[in-house]
Amino acid sequence: MRITTWNVNSVRLREPLLFKLLEKIEPDILCLQETKCTDDQFPTTGFIKAGYPHITTRGMKGYNGVAIISRLPFEETGGEDWVGKQDCRHVSVRLTGGLELHNFYVPAGGDDPDPKQNGKFDHKLKFLDEMHGWFGAQRLADAPMVLVGDLNIAPLENDVWSHKQLLKAVSHTPVEVKQLNKFKNGLGWIDTTRHVIPEPEKVYSWWSYRARNWSAADRGRRLDHIWVTPPLKARIQKSSVLREARGWEKPSDHAPVTTVLE
């Protein structure tokens, strides 16, 4: 089973790149974040023609939005609202056979890592806290689950181009990393990318639009993740970042991340 996650940064704007991705990687399941369209605007027909007839979306006009596009059938679909907002940041499915898949778009958190001064950062921390509480109350660690998405946090020193310089930058601050690890450790989630590519190797999935020569500067961050619960750890075969997608014409600032499970 090949699972790919990608913050596409507008599904309609980058529709041609999506089909290029499908042709290149051939995922069984594609999870998208920042689709930026309502459900009725989602390009469902094109995915069906490409061999992905099983689709569920949670979208809104112009912002956020998540989707799961699959070759494999699913029996149930769902999605929670977090921190009292109906802002389409989570969608889930239960595949035929029982595997549960959660796709998240965690808030970015603005620029100031002070929850008292920055409401966006406060929202991000509360979002992570609610995720931890919900999974702790609703799910068990021995259930086979996959969690993917743009979690907007690069937790490890080698998940960013400079650990020291980014300690006060939102997405790599100690308070965010602590919150993410609290959630991760709750059910013993395994980070598939770091399972396959351990530190100290640098791994990034996001490069800012502000850098014209992003590849040469290589000031990236690993914000996009695929995790599995302990029953699936032994089934992790491969994990990779399609860096070249960041260099496609009119690209997203994120690159797709793929994990292969036996």
Whether the per-residue pLDDT at 154 is higher than 90: the answer is yes
Tokens linked to 97: 């056979």
Which pLDDT does position 146 carry in this prediction?
98
Mean of pLDDT values over 78-102: 97
Q: What is the pTM of this model?
A: 0.98
CATH number, domain containing residue 250: 3.60.10.10
Whether the per-residue pLDDT at 192 is higher than 90: the answer is yes
Structural domain that includes position 207: 2-261
Which pLDDT does position 107 carry in this prediction?
98
For residues 67 and 188, what is the distance between their CA atoms, to the nearest angstrom? Answer: 25
pLDDT band at 6; cut points 50, 70, 90: very high
Which pLDDT does position 212 carry in this prediction?
84
Q: Give the number of domains in the chain.
A: 1
Which pLDDT does position 211 carry in this prediction?
87
Q: How far apart are the first and last CA of the chain?
A: 6
Looking at per-residue pLDDT, the higher value among 212 and 27 belongs to: 27
Mean of pLDDT values over 37-66: 97
Tokens linked to 59: 């979208």
Averaged pLDDT of the chain? 97
How many angstroms separate the Cα of 242 from the Cα of each of 33, 62, 68? 16, 26, 19
